Amino acid sequence: MNDVVEARLTLQKDLARHLRAGHPWVFRKAVEKAPKGLAAGAVVDVVEGDRFVARGYYDPLSAIAVRILTREPAEAVDAAFWTRRVQRALALRKELVQGTTGYRLVHGEADGLPGVVADRYDRWVVLKLYSAGLTPHRGRIVEALREALGGELAGVYGRDEIPHDEEDEGSAPEGRVLWGEAPPELIAIDEHGMKMLVDVRHGQKTGTFLDQRENRLLVRGLARGRAEALNCFSYTGGFSVAAALGGARHVVSVDVDRDAIALARDNFRQNGLDPADHAFAAEDAFELLARYKREGRRFDLVVCDPPAFAKSQKAVESALAGYASLNRAALAVLAPGGLLVTASCSARVSADQFYDAVREAAFKARVDLQLVEERRQPPDHPVSPQFREGRYLKLLVYRRAA
């Protein structure tokens, strides 16, 4: 890959300030027309008049024309650059992430590597690139991962780097080995003593939802003394296993993905829990909640962790209605004195909007709630203050008045 700057892109008037402040994206409409034939991944300087503003890589296929890598005019985007950034990301994890063999090693924009996601599962790293502009740099990113982890690393596995929809992190097809050994069909990781089997070849995101790791530990504590628990959108059963390990006598896991439900049963077994003592439903969560309401079923703990409801700005209004509807249905089966653990991973839905959606649900369900805990994403999913878009995960814990 060529290290030299291949073009200078001039910003439209008065648009440099947010880049100097640290925002990592330059939208196509913000720059004058790029030189004809400029390739994906070309290193470009973004300028205001003749003044250097930032340096990044070019993507001809995205509405984000340039993703910023550095604001230092003397810093080259060479092999050493990628190594420095990956090592800096690893240093944060070594300092702040404990008790797990599964964590996010590189979290895109917040780690100074926009579009790059690298998740570690025991001795393997799953690499996912979210821009065509990163494809030419992939080899150097892999080398940087190898250098940072050394003998701890058995292999690097690449998932589909450029989804058809850049918002869609969950539907990538099987990837390929980029270096070292192929990952096993299932990788076993440890989360604070809880075992999790992860399918990094076909699973959601890079295999599982690592951003909910600390919240799964939270649910273990909340489940103590609670007989009946329900996990909606359970995927491979992370919150379900946590609830059972925490003391919930009977846990119901529901997800439309039959393969995920099958793996959830395996995850129970992996933790010495008999799946026969619990229930697993491969069906729509809304339909199951409606049926349980008709049957008069009640649960002492209900977890709602749905996929992103808003994948574009125009979908926010319908997403908020969806969150309100889901939580209203969940409250209809929550026993007095029970706990509702509800989450949103939609970046375009703010914390206040999500809070209001649950408030609306409680009003319509005629239920009195007490907010007892509020959480965001863990330290291996850091947030840059200049990149509000990266502040996506919201989790609220409510108690229904007895």
* pLDDT (mean) for 164-173: 44
Rounded-to-integer distance, Cα 402 and Cα 399, Å? 9
Helix/strand/coil (H, E, C) string of the chain? CCCCCCEEEEECCCCCHHHHCCCCEEEHHHECCCCCCCCCCCEEEEEECCEEEEEEEECCCCCEEEEEEECCCCCCCCHHHHHHHHHHHHHHHHHHCCCECEEEEEEHHHHCCCCEEEEEECCEEEEEECCHHHHHHHHHHHHHHHHHHHHHCCEEEECCCCCCCCCCCCCCCCCEEEEECCCCCCEEEEECCEEEEECCCCCECCECCHHHHHHHHHHHHHCCCCCEEEEECCCCCHHHHHHHHHCCCEEEEECCCHHHHHHHHHHHHHCCCCHHHCEEECCCHHHHHHHHHHHCCCEEEEEECCCCCCCCHHHHHHHHHHHHHHHHHHHCCEEEEEEEEEEECCCCCCHHHHHHHHHHHHHHHCCCEEEEEEECCCCCCCCCCCCHHHCCCEEEEEEECC
Q: What is the dihedral sign for C-alpha 265, 268, 272, 273?
A: negative
The confidence score (pLDDT) of residue 168 equals 44
pLDDT tens for each residue of 109-130? 999 999 999 999 999 999 999 9
Task: Walk me through the domains of the chain, giving residue ranges and CATH numbers.
Answer: 7-70 (2.30.130.10), 79-185 (3.30.750.80), 209-400 (3.40.50.150)
Place of tokens 């050493």: 80
Rounded-to-integer distance, Cα 347 and Cα 306, Å? 13
Entry pTM: 0.93
Residue 130 corresponds to which tokens in the numbers above?
């979210």
Is a pLDDT exceeding 50 seen at residue 314? Answer: yes
Is a pLDDT exceeding 70 seen at residue 203? Answer: yes
Is a pLDDT exceeding 70 seen at residue 166? Answer: no
When the pLDDT of each residue in the chain is averaged and rounded to a whole number, the result is 93
Rounded-to-integer distance, Cα 382 and Cα 104, Å? 10
pLDDT tens for each residue of 88-102? 999 999 999 999 999
Residue 10 corresponds to which tokens in the numbers above?
């001039």
User: Per mean pLDDT, which range of 3-17, 73-87, 145-159 is the poorest?
Assistant: 3-17
Residue 368 corresponds to which tokens in the numbers above?
């009195």
Which of 54, 324, 345, 397 does the annotation list as catalytic? 345
Q: 304 catalytic, yes or no?
A: no
Cβ atoms of residues 356 and 191 within 8 Å: no
